Structure 1
Amino acid sequence: MKTAFRILAAYAMTLLAGGGPLAAHAAGQPAPATGAAQQALAVEVFNPGEAAIFAVSSVLVQGKHDAILIDAQFSADQARKLAGRIKASGKRLTTIYVSHGDPDYYFGLDTLRQAFPAARILATPQTIAHIQATKDEKLKVWGLKLGENAPRQLIVPDALQATP
């Protein structure tokens, strides 16, 4: 899993790099960057808290013009709120990265794809294999509980490829 995060971090830095300091915005609180991470990136965390069945955090990594999203939320309602926050940022969402194969990390992809049709949806091959092996049963169980907030279409990410 550490390798996947290194690849994603390198991808984010390459995709979003610009001049200026890094700002980390966890829960809306800016924090200065240190060391080599002095790039024009900002990080915003979206966590629905008690309003959600699973309070999974989605992380928006923003550069000067573009952004990538890590994790898509569980319900369509929470994914719609997340999409609103992304649109409010004024950044172009280029990529959605799914970090885990459980549905609370990817059921919101359907809603996010509708809001951002040009965004690539990526995950590691291991995460993709887990999603493919469990998605039908997960939708059967959670679709009834989520009702209108269940995904209308299950989206399986494309594989994130390592770059030299």
Structure 2
Amino acid sequence: MKKLITFAASALIAHSAFAADKKPLTLDVYNAVPSSFSVNSTVVYGETEAMVIDAGFTKADALRIAAKVLDSKKELKTIFISQADPDYYFGAETLHNIFPKADIITTPAVQKVIEEKMAGKLAF
């Protein structure tokens, strides 16, 4: 299910975000360490812009993802959160602090679960 959501979101966002680009998109996958639950985050690059799919679990994860974007010299436009588990979105604040113009988006269903469970996840 995650792959389907990620693919659909990537296709939709990439199509609109990179509509003017003539070159194919590039994917750069960050593989988190086991202590971050081995969650993968993907940076999708077009000719001039980038998007991140899943922001990582820790600040260190988010900083490593940010380094990929900065090294690409592309403008980060979108941070897409695909799942409601903290290992997919806890890094979003760090990424947004580095890239304040980037939009953070998710599906309504994921947003609802995050909002319902955020306090408990932070307390844990």
TM-score by length of 2: 0.89
Unaligned runs of 5+ in 2: none
Runs of 4+ in structure 1 deviating by more than 2 angstroms, as ranges, are 1-8
1:49 shift after superposition: 2.7
Tell which structure's C-alpha radius of gyration is larger: 1
Q: Counterpart of 1:121?
A: 104
1:95–1:122 Cα contact (<8 Å) kept: yes
**CA distance in 2: counterparts of 1:71 and 1:89, whole angstroms:** 18
**Structure showing the higher helix proportion among its residues:** 2
Task: Give the share of equivalent positions with the same residue, in percent.
Answer: 36
Q: Counterpart of 1:152?
A: none
Q: Counterpart of 2:37?
A: 54
TM-score by length of 1: 0.68
Instruction: Pick one of 49, 71, 80 that aligns with 1:66.
Output: 49
Q: CA RMSD in A?
A: 1.6
Higher relative contact order (CA 8 A, sep 6+): 2
Matched positions, count: 121
1:4–1:124 Cα contact (<8 Å) kept: no
User: How do 1:26-65 residues align onto structure 2 when only pairs under 5 Å count?
Assistant: 40-50=24-34, 52-65=35-48
Q: Counterpart of 1:75?
A: 58
